[in-house]
A and B are shown apart, each in its own frame.
Chain A
Amino acid sequence: MKTDDLVAFLSTNPEAVDRRLVIRTLCVALAAGIVAALGVTFVGLGVRSDLMTARAFIFLLLKLAFTIGIVGVASVYLARTARPGGERKVPFFLVALPFLIIIVLAAISLGLAPSSHWDRMILGDEWLECLLSIPMIAIVPFAAAIWAVRRAAPTNLARAGAFAGLIAGGVSAMAYALHCTDDSLPFVAVWYGGTIVLCTLAGAALGPRLLRW
């Protein structure tokens, strides 16, 4: 077939295109992911019972600030990497920033505590539950993010997959924070930060397979 024929074929009665479709689809996916993650947390795990005490509330806010920061940054960059050539417009420093902040805060908090408390501060009561829950709650948000990116046109599939994983991990950790009763900065840095990084790596590994177009 001649290319001219294809061009004529495609140009007959072309549809007008919604210029905000990429952003809107990503917003729908993010909202669906958040609802799913909250649903799984509420039904499967339950909200922590001491939520109304001041200490628990402050730590909840801190966990939310960390995870919402990650989701916010990751959403902006996923919207960029979802478009052809968009992967060039992603400064990695900003992506790493929420992690750097929590690591610095955790280090300060460890420095101020006697070293005999370090084990307890890092491992908490439920490190295993946290390690398993965040990746599991992240599955639906990840699927939603991948669905949205597939409707766009990423040209760096590993990176787009990584951002989908980062968003999913962030959304999942945000929901899990409502359940989690381990209140220490080193715990958040290691188990929240670590599992979110795991989700990101899984996304980067799956991206090339899931996102081809």
Chain B
Amino acid sequence: MTTHEIELKALMLASLDGDAVSHRALLDQLSRRLRAYYKGKLARIGRGASEAEDLVQEAVLAIHLKRHTFDPAALLTPWVHAIARYKLMDFLRRNRTSLADAPLDEADTMVAHDDNVDAESTYDVKRLMERLPKNMRCSIEAVKLDGLTIAEAAERCGISEPGVKVNIHRGLKALAALIAREART
């Protein structure tokens, strides 16, 4: 087991308990690894950095939304790699590129190297959010952008606290779907 695995898994376990600092550190480190992974894969089929960045963000969103599927008894790296690979295959399918052109390697090829951190993806979450239903948009804006607590968000949006949680979860899923559709066109 590598030190990366131990370190990242500790962050993951803390983030599953709702620790914001760990969650941020985890997504930050994983996004660097994902960037290296996707840039390597897409370079081989002649795709650019911004498409790689789309994939990085799709995968980061998927990791966030699907973090409940991580089995705390298992290793983190294979779980992340499976998601990264799934999103890559999904991208290749959407773009009708042959899988044979982009060999899908094993988890240990995901080495972090940190170039192009400032690369931007082709979409904008804030703009996409305008297309969400009102309660989802209000809940996400309050909690995720303005940093309010669930209780404060409930008051601002005029819905119950469980309602805010449900709306955030559904809203993020809807956003992920919008991003996937955007990346397809």
Contacts and interface: CB of A to CB of B under 8 A. Distances in A.
Contacts of A12: 20, 143-145, 147
The B interface, classified by DSSP as helix, strand, loop or mixed, is helix
B85 interface: yes
Contacts of A84: 66, 69, 79-80, 82-83, 86
Nearest to B147: A12
A155 interface: yes
Interface stretch (A3-11, A69-77, A102-110, A138-146): A3-11
Interface stretch (A16-24, A122-130, A169-177): A16-24
A83 B20 contact: no
16 contacts: A1-B126, A3-B53, A5-B125, A6-B57, A7-B28, A10-B64, A10-B144, A13-B149, A17-B67, A18-B68, A19-B16, A21-B68, A83-B69, A86-B82, A152-B69, A213-B62
Contact of B82 (A10, A21, A85, A213): A85
A212 interface: yes
A152 B83 CA distance: 12
B108 to A, nearest CB: 14
A88 B57 CA distance: 26
Contacts of A6: 57, 60-61, 125
The A interface, classified by DSSP as helix, strand, loop or mixed, is loop
Nearest to A7: B27
A88 B85 CA distance: 14
Nearest to A21: B68
List 6 A-B pairs, minimum CB-CB distance, nearest first: A85-B82, A16-B18, A11-B24, A84-B82, A153-B66, A155-B86
A19 B144 contact: no
Contacts of A3: 31, 35, 53, 56-57, 60, 117, 119, 121
Contact of B145 (A9, A14, A16, A82): A9
